[in-house]
Structure 1
Amino acid sequence: MKRQVTIIFFTIILSIIAGYALSFNTFSNEHKAKSDEKNDGDVVQLTFWRNYGNPTENKAYEELVSDFEAAHPNIVINMKSIQYDDYEVRLRTELAAGTPPDIMSIDSPNAAIYANTGALLSLDQYMKKEGNIDDFPDATLKGLSFQGEIFLALVVESSIALFYNKHLFKEAGIPFPSEDPTEPMTWDEVREIAKKINNPDKGVIGIDSAQGFGVGEAPAYFKIPILWQFGASILSPDGTTASGYLDSKEAIEALQFYQDLYHKDKVAAVELPLDPFESGELAMTVLGSWTLAQLETNYPDFKLGEDFGVAPLPKGKDQVVPNGGWALGISSKSKYPDEAWEFIKYITSYEGMKKYVKITGDIPARYSVARDLPELNEYPKNIFVQQSQTYSKNRPVTPAYPVVSEVIKTLFEEVGIGGKDVEVSAKEAVEKINKALKEIQ
């Protein structure tokens, strides 16, 4: 725990700078030749770091950078794409060394970490003057802000929904759920369906409600909404404590429901076979909007409408889905903040965002782009779009977020895998988060 809090303040980074120094010399510079050609003093060179995405994401950024440079011949964007697993450490290394990129891609729940340390330039005035912020949902902007100021600009949003196997539903005589984004099933209804379909003798599992037990940010992204749906929060509104929130009556109810799926109802499995949903061994699962393209590419014989369907994310007391994604920020040390903003403004503009979404198939952050692309107003993508615009919530905005994320992961592992008393686990989780908040303060 202490180590994670220390990471927030980058002090640990100083000890590994030397270890990574050599690797930075090997970075590929995608625009090096072009930069060498444009070497006069009137040309502004901007470094742009982003995590290396899937092929369509990479293609989208390459085309947008090319378009921007064509329209701004006095600006060169030196884009470096870094593997996801290495990205955060390498970025923080450069920040600690005082040599950060001008423009950087940051996962939106980490906005407060970088803003709190002074690593990010506030985009508040830029966004409010030229960013057309009325075109973004309030929940999206809130997730990009810290202490009342906007620090990041988002290109695409994210959302999750319930995917279900149509063949297993038919065999059990269960009607398909509504496709209307405003009419989700309740978690109690989903649990009863899972009980009817679950069949250990045939190797059929009822549900995977929150992406099993993985690593990284996925556990927090998929599991925090369960707490929200039951009316719970992680932190107080001012972000100073988890006491009375993560251990509230509502949080305990949510954790108990989650635990019961595994240990009482036995309709969820701690260990899942390979590709259980696609192989017909898993009746229901919660997946992200990006999964549609992945299924179409990797499992062409497993077809939407024939083999599986998509329904709104189930609700508890409230209908809530998570939002957030990789957003763009400017280093507070950049010598060219105005030029950096010009680039971000283009990427996140109506035209830039529309082009990005057409290439990637992702969910746009702007209302206007979603409205003007027909496929986003049709099933099943309309589910993700309407959820993100109407029912989404951002993960806690706090400099202690890495600790919060890890604690949530551990909490759900303890109650889901280990069957630990939910009140005891919640109390321990609160103590860990409060300790991190206190150390940061």
Structure 2
Amino acid sequence: MKKWFTIFAIILLGILVYALSSFDTFSGSTQKEKAEKPKSSKRTELTFWRNSGNTAENKAFEELVSVFEKANPDISVNMKSIPYSDYEIRLRTELAAGNPPDILTIDSPTLALYANTGSLLSIDPFMRKEGQIDDIPASTLRGLSYKGQIYLAPIVESSIALYYNRHLFKDAGIPYPSEDPKNPLTWDEVLEIAKKVNNPAKDVVGIDPAQGFNDGESPAYFKTPLLWQFGANILSPDGTTASGYLDSKEALDALQFYQDLYHKNAVAAFELPPAAFESGKLAMTVLGSWTLADLEKNHPEFKLGEDFGVTPLPKDKYQFVPNGGWALGITSKSKHPQEAWKFIKYVTSYEGMKKYVTITGDVPARYSVAKDFPELNKYPKNIFLQQTQKYSRNRPVTPAYPVVSDAIRKLFEDVGIGGKDVKTSAKEAVEKINAGLKEIQ
């Protein structure tokens, strides 16, 4: 009996040793597999809102997101494209509800509205350390800053110029204007040309000086430069009042000149037929840098150098053009500001910007990128590029900008369409803007 007990004990001990050995082997194998397996890390999910652009802009952003995600497998960017007409309302609604995206695009003139409410994160430390800001025009950076802090990073810039119909100029015996970005016509010279080419009998209009009378931001973008060119400003340097600025003698002179184009000289029309410029019914018009691509795509029969030409935006005492555009920022409630900056840094870097401009044909916001596109340094695109880099100004950076923009729109409508007294109209605009500034303060 004792013998069987000893044998049983030996067998039991063997089973136990084998079991322990097997467990150790299995455990060791599992640990080894775990060590060899890459650590499973949760991907950072970034939400990115932007206004819907044209086909080329949409394609450019899609490619930038794709390239970034491949280079950063630990980050995914969920991009939402929202129609322009709905974008601001939806964005402000989500900001007010405390559920904004991590990254967003903002039209630079409205920057201060968001920064002043604390909705935007200052990216000043990021930009100064890694944003290569010496490669960006100072005027562009000023338009992306509020109270000395940079809040947005740019991709592209914008500019406007005077387009003219070569056939109408030739028929009237008018020499083609300069193609030199530093040598624009004066507004007085433009007026004299407009008088010669204006032909009511043939329904030919001399000039559309600032994109007619539209809604939205277009009136402020196209019409504010006329005030600057005559030596006027909209607001005081500290941004606290419009009194003495928008109603200054220089401002009144600019407004009177604009009004006279429609009324006294009758070389501008309140309404134009569709495609007036392309069909030879409009001799001169102020259009954007983006119009070149639009004309090439939609009116290929209307050719640059044969049917139309481009010359710098006219000047008065000073040569100024508007700048600004949609730029990228980070919302203050983002839980992933470092990752959000990493995405913005790539998109607005030399590499990202070059890819974007290659697809869209827009004017880049970096000197280094512009140098790499030969067409940007030749007529006619060199006009837009050099104007942007040397002669551009920002619309007022103020939390009350929506009020300013609307006041400018109504002011030019009153003196243009309405033919109202320019001094009275300017006074009303000043009162409206000052009320908006006071409300903000």
Q: Fold-level match, TM-score > 0.5? A: yes
1:291-349 CA deviation, whole Å, 9 max, x = no partner?
00000000010000000000000001100000000000001000000000000000000
Identity of aligned residues (%): 75
* Mean Cα deviation higher: 381-390 or 365-374: 365-374
Map of 2:105 onto structure 1: 105
Gaps of at least 5 residues in structure 2 are 1-39
Aligned residues between the structures: 402
Q: How does 1:88-167 map to 2 (within 5 A)?
A: 88-167=88-167
Contact 2:139 2:394 in 1 (8 A): yes
Map of 1:386 onto structure 2: 386
Supply the distance in 1 between the matched residues of 2:169 and 2:373 (Cα, whole angstroms): 32
Map of 2:371 onto structure 1: 371
Supply the distance in 1 between the matched residues of 2:317 and 2:430 (Cα, whole angstroms): 22
1:370-420 CA deviation, whole Å, 9 max, x = no partner?
111111001100000000000000000000000000000000000000100
1:17-48 CA deviation, whole Å, 9 max, x = no partner?
xxxxxxxxxxxxxxxxxxxxxxx652100000
Gaps of at least 5 residues in structure 1 are 1-39
Map of 1:246 onto structure 2: 246
Matched, 1:403 2:403: yes
Q: Post-superposition, which runs of at least 4 consecutive aligned residues in structure 1 deviate over 6 A?
A: none
Contact 2:143 2:394 in 1 (8 A): yes
Contact 2:140 2:323 in 1 (8 A): yes
- Supply the AA of the counterpart residue of 2:428: E
1:269-312 CA deviation, whole Å, 9 max, x = no partner?
00111110011000000000000000000001000000000000
Supply the distance in 2 between the matched residues of 1:239 and 1:134 (Cα, whole angstroms): 26
SS of residue matched to 2:121:
coil
Supply the distance in 1 between the matched residues of 2:154 and 2:421 (Cα, whole angstroms): 39
Supply the distance in 1 between the matched residues of 2:371 and 2:257 (Cα, whole angstroms): 37
Supply the distance in 1 between the matched residues of 2:248 and 2:368 (Cα, whole angstroms): 39
Matched, 1:311 2:311: yes
1:52-88 CA deviation, whole Å, 9 max, x = no partner?
1000000000000000001000000000000110000
Map of 1:48 onto structure 2: 48
Supply the distance in 2 between the matched residues of 1:166 and 1:93 (Cα, whole angstroms): 48
Map of 1:339 onto structure 2: 339
- TM-score for both structures, normalised by structure 1: 0.91
Supply the distance in 2 between the matched residues of 1:73 and 1:393 (Cα, whole angstroms): 40
Map of 2:85 onto structure 1: 85
Map of 1:192 onto structure 2: 192
SS of residue matched to 1:193:
helix
- Supply the AA of the counterpart residue of 2:229: Q
1:354-384 CA deviation, whole Å, 9 max, x = no partner?
1100100000000111111111001100000
- Supply the AA of the counterpart residue of 1:138: A
Matched, 1:417 2:417: yes
Map of 2:258 onto structure 1: 258
SS of residue matched to 1:153:
coil
Map of 1:4 onto structure 2: none
- Supply the AA of the counterpart residue of 1:76: S
Deviation at 1:152, TM superposition (A): 0.4
SS of residue matched to 2:46:
strand
**Superposition RMSD in Å:** 0.6
Supply the distance in 2 between the matched residues of 1:275 and 1:373 (Cα, whole angstroms): 30
Supply the distance in 1 between the matched residues of 2:151 and 2:111 (Cα, whole angstroms): 7
1:162-212 CA deviation, whole Å, 9 max, x = no partner?
000000000000000000000000000000000000000011000000000
Supply the distance in 1 between the matched residues of 2:212 and 2:153 (Cα, whole angstroms): 31
SS of residue matched to 1:329:
strand
- Supply the AA of the counterpart residue of 1:105: T
Supply the distance in 1 between the matched residues of 2:104 and 2:408 (Cα, whole angstroms): 27
Supply the distance in 2 between the matched residues of 1:182 and 1:343 (Cα, whole angstroms): 37
Supply the distance in 1 between the matched residues of 2:222 and 2:214 (Cα, whole angstroms): 10
Supply the distance in 2 between the matched residues of 1:63 and 1:173 (Cα, whole angstroms): 49
Supply the distance in 1 between the matched residues of 2:423 and 2:389 (Cα, whole angstroms): 34
Map of 1:433 onto structure 2: 433
Contact 2:41 2:74 in 1 (8 A): no
